[in-house]
Structures are given as C-alpha cells and as structure tokens.
C-alpha cells in the first residue's frame, strides 16, 4: 500500500513538473521585417507589432486570453543604435478608431477577467463568448505569472544591435465589433538609457492578422 501511494505521489509530482515546463515564444526577428512597424531612422530604433487576433497566430499560452476578449499583441523592439534603449517608462497603448485609449492590462486586470468569467458585451473578436475557466483563483494567478515569465520581455533594456520582444494584453470588451479596424499601437516615453533622452512617439497602424499590409 505504501509503495502504491508513493508511486501515485511521484506520478502527481511528475505530472506537475511536466505541466510547469517553460513554453517557448517564437524567436523575434528584426522589427523592420514585420509588416506592422514604425522605424525612427535618425535614432536607429524600430518597433513592430504582431497582432494575435486568431488562435492560428497565437502562441501556446496557458490561459485563453483571446477567447476572453484580452487581445495579445507582441511588441518587438530592435535597437540598431550604439546606446541602450530603456522601456521602463514606456507607455504602450492600443488606440481604437474612435480614440478610445486602452493601456496594456496589468496582472490584476487579467486575473479579474479570467477568474470572474464575466460575459462580453457584444461581439468583439471572431471567437464567440468567453471560454469558461474552471480552475481556482490561485491557479489563474500562477498561470498568468508563468505566461509572463515565458512570453513577456526578458529585460526592459534593449542593448545596442539587439532585439527584445514580449506579449502584452489589451481589453477589447466594450469596443466596436471590429476593434482592429483603423486602430493604432502607440508607444511613448521610450528612452535612451545613457541620458534618459526620450524618443519621439512610435505609431504603428494595426489591422487583422489575415490582411495584407496597407
């Protein structure tokens, strides 16, 4: 009996270990190679966006963010200058066609949306109503943290001649039926680390992932 219990316990531990295995985000390319990008040639910095509006282009997150109207957008920053770029003060906002400003969601906002399972008002993205998540609050919190570790920015400092990337999430609830139409991703307060000098704002025109660049 003790052996059987021990075997069962080991199986559970192994199962948990497998479940917590890190998940790999796609290796980022130079931001200028992405369809949606804004290059500041004078400063030699380019920032791109990858919209994850359908499951086919969405990485293997632990939670169903998109199905709960939290739109993942990957932000790719390529620094081709000779000095580090700092993102600590960066404001990365989704700007809807009507001017509605949606900041990137915090962990608390993600937790409230995914745990409370509130229904969406109206049609936002082509996936229907939110997918119910039945695990407990602690599991949700842990999954959000693990996703952040695996898919977020590894560092907020982009060294010279390197690229950093991370996924952010934007609340589409309450926006128009097609929130990506004529929307923009705006990045402000991106700075050079050496003297804290701010770059001009980046403005990236967004559109659904299935559409060609306009």
Domain boundaries, the chain: 26-205
Helices (H), the chain: 2-19, 107-116, 137-151
Q: Classify 8 as helix, strand or coil.
A: helix
Q: Write out pLDDT tens, residues 40-95.
A: 999 999 999 999 999 989 999 999 999 999 999 999 999 999 999 999 999 999 99
pTM of the model: 0.80
pLDDT of residue 11: 46
CA distances from 101 to 157, 178, 179 (A): 25, 15, 12
E strand map for the chain? 37-40, 45-51, 70-79, 85-86, 91-95, 101-103, 157-158, 162-171, 184-188, 191-192, 197-198, 202-205
Q: Write out pLDDT tens, residues 182-211.
A: 999 999 999 999 999 999 999 999 999 876
Contact assessment for residue 65 and residue 150, using Cβ atoms and an 8 Å cutoff: no
Residue 73 half-sphere exposure, CB side, CA atoms within 13 Å?
33
């Amino acid at each position: 009996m003790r052996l059987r219990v021990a075997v069962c316990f080991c199986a559970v531990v192994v199962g948990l270990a497998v479940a917590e295995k890190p998940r790999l985000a796609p290796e980022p390319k130079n931001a200028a190679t992405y369809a949606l990008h804004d290059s500041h040639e004078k400063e030699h910095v380019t920032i791109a966006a990858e919209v994850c509006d359908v499951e086919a282009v969405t990485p293997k997150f632990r939670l169903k963010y998109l199905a709960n109207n939290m739109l993942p957008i990957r932000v790719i920053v390529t620094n081709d200058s000779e000095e580090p770029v700092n993102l600590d003060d960066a404001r990365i906002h989704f700007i809807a066609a009507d001017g509605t400003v949606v900041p990137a969601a915090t962990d608390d906002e993600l937790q409230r949306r995914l745990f409370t399972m509130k229904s969406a008002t109206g049609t936002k993205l082509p996936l229907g109503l939110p997918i119910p998540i039945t695990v407990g609050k602690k599991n949700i919190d842990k999954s959000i943290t693990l996703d952040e570790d695996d898919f977020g920015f590894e560092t907020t400092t982009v060294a010279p001649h390197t690229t950093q990337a991370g996924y952010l999430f934007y609340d589409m609830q309450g926006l128009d039926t097609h929130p990506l139409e004529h929307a923009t991703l705006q990045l402000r307060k991106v700075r050079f680390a050496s003297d804290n000098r701010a770059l001009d704002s980046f403005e990236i025109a967004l559109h659904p992932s299935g559409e060609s660049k306009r």
